[in-house]
Structure 1
């Protein structure tokens, strides 16, 4: 197939986070001609981080009338998605999605690769209790129809790729079609390698319920070991009141300050369940081992007893056992660093492009 246009599709543009970094590297590789999104409310300085100084056409929908409250229009996402149609012929379409745009309409002459950066629409699947609670519970009647819609949309892409085996297995189960795994990239050049570790543990993330910082704090309250928590969130005040003096809250730190702590820590501890979790790779780039809940995307990024330790249950007892086991093992910092380099930007681009070539050769 001869490509005439290269098209990027995203659910929305509002913040510069993990998905947007993936898009930045894909744009470096494919130099997209146009972008389709449900809504674009991203500041121009963040758009430049993704697409550089060249202005790229961005087509949106009437979802923009909701402004920053657009997520409240979840029941209407199917309606707005119908407005988003790739008009170009002979296009290579790459969608980067955690919500609905894998179901975008396009011409028969084009090919569509959908990259699932998370379990799509997980707020109507396993995590419905997190989203439909309190006053929002009255909206839970939409869940069955949204699930049916999600399954229908999954049939539209030519090929589906996901960020982890965890997400791939989930999508295979829900969508009943083949899904490939390509782990997202980490800018390994951004992190310094360090073998001289200090006597403290570190964790980085948003202080929100699903990250399970309650478990982390309760465990370190009990063992008395020094823990540094980097990040902010709705539970910051509650966690500060809950924590003993051996636990230090840094709040938001600029990347350079955060990286210094990642490279000096004896281990990075993570208690949540992520679809992938780039945060688990970054300390490994520094040669820092990881103690993580052994589920989700962590299984793609941590090699047990070589680059880190898993705990099997989200309990204080299980995490305590993992920390004790960790302290009985001498980890090889160089081996940890070498493992992490497999998640480099170049490796990601090469693996992704190989799948693009295969897709363009399909009849």
Structure 2
């Protein structure tokens, strides 16, 4: 069986690329396709492929640094891949990958990380942050995004089956595409060794420092908690502003390597997560280090943080506002002894890479069996009767 895996684009290793890594472990001989591939050789080796087959966007000027400028061309580019020689096509899609063209005898499974959010519910945020929220640029950008939505809905009929990375995304798929989706949560990297040392005094935020991550609200919350220490790990365009508004109890670590981040997680009193994410792998990575999570009670966090029962792993705040976050931290302090490293780690193990591979391969096998059966039972075409003169 020949297998192709189609990924939107490759230039950083994030959560979607971790899914790609596990798909390549299930199907090690698969060919990888992407609109463009600018990953260094060592990252490709880590993910499990040598070189992706790319589109014409790979050769366009400034594609490495300004690829979003080519958004209007991406539907056309993804449709140019010739996948006719493959029995199974798996698209790993958060933008356009699910729109690849396949034939009736091919099985196409699309793992949808999210319908493209900048064309749907994040359109206004995207326009504002890109400086296209007013004037002629705004009119042109809105027309392009409208056409992207039309294309996105039309191509949602292409895959034989859709897999969502969370129940939250499955609801968005149902609303936007009118299709049901199987939920298979993405894999997380479990701790290589368990940290059994004492906790520090700090609370931790680890995030790209951009507005929608709501790190500013966390920083302002700790202005109300002057006796508590907050560590902010990460970089981004909001870094300078956050340093300006931070009090003396807030420190910034900038970019930290994975091992250092894991140590910060393991020694934190709690990990704070204030964004509404489709899934939020980093929440479970903190749990894997045995650390409770204080999270915004929306999106994927509602599926990964246990807030009830004897084995709780965290608490929710209902709005990404400083007062709500500060109140949640105070509530946590009153119950801190009720949270155990063992419960947090056990929750994270439910999302291991081994379980992801088992669930995904089982689902594909089931869909392949159904697909083959449907191909074998197609109605025969009756011979045309010649007219009798």
Partner of 2:331: 325
- SS of residue in 1 equivalent to 2:191: helix
Partner of 1:261: 264
Matched, 1:159 2:154: no
Which residue of 345, 349, 362 corresponds with 2:357? Answer: 349
- SS of residue in 2 equivalent to 1:106: coil
The two structures, once aligned, show a CA RMSD in angstroms of 1.5
Distance in 2, Cα, partners of 1:183 & 1:20: 14
After TM superposition, the runs of 4+ consecutive aligned structure 1 residues lying more than 6 A away are none
- SS of residue in 2 equivalent to 1:227: strand
Aligned-residue offset at 1:31: 0.8
CA contact 1:309–1:322 (8 Å) conserved in 2:
yes
Distance in 1, Cα, partners of 2:40 & 2:342: 40
Mark the runs of 5 or more structure 2 residues left unpaired by the alignment.
375-389
Which residue of 21, 35, 38 corresponds with 1:24? Answer: 21
Partner of 1:226: 229
The TM-score normalised by the length of structure 2 is: 0.88
CA contact 1:195–1:333 (8 Å) conserved in 2:
no
Q: 1:191 to 1:150 in 2, by over 3 A?
A: farther
Distance in 2, Cα, partners of 1:260 & 1:112: 41
- SS of residue in 2 equivalent to 1:347: helix
Matched, 1:292 2:292: no
Q: How does 1:34-73 map to 2 (within 5 A)?
A: 34-51=31-48, 55=50, 58-64=52-58, 65-66=60-61, 67-68=63-64, 69-73=66-70
Distance in 1, Cα, partners of 2:70 & 2:193: 39
Which residue of 270, 275, 279 corresponds with 2:273? Answer: 270
Aligned-residue offset at 1:151: 0.6
Aligned-residue offset at 1:191: 5.6
CA contact 1:102–1:157 (8 Å) conserved in 2:
yes
Aligned-residue offset at 1:268: 0.2
Aligned length: 355
Aligned-residue offset at 1:251: 0.3
Distance in 2, Cα, partners of 1:113 & 1:24: 16
Matched, 1:236 2:236: no
- SS of residue in 1 equivalent to 2:108: strand
Which residue of 81, 84, 87 corresponds with 1:84? Answer: 81
CA contact 1:194–1:287 (8 Å) conserved in 2:
no
Matched, 1:125 2:131: no
Partner of 2:206: 204
Partner of 1:358: 366
Matched, 1:314 2:310: no
Aligned-residue offset at 1:216: 0.4
Q: 1:191 to 1:153 in 2, by over 3 A?
A: farther
Aligned-residue offset at 1:338: 0.9
The TM-score normalised by the length of structure 1 is: 0.94
Judge which range, 259-268 or 11-20, deviates more.
11-20
Mark the runs of 5 or more structure 1 residues left unpaired by the alignment.
none
Which residue of 87, 90, 94 corresponds with 1:94? Answer: 90
CA contact 1:193–1:337 (8 Å) conserved in 2:
no
- SS of residue in 2 equivalent to 1:198: coil
Distance in 2, Cα, partners of 1:146 & 1:79: 11
Distance in 2, Cα, partners of 1:208 & 1:301: 23
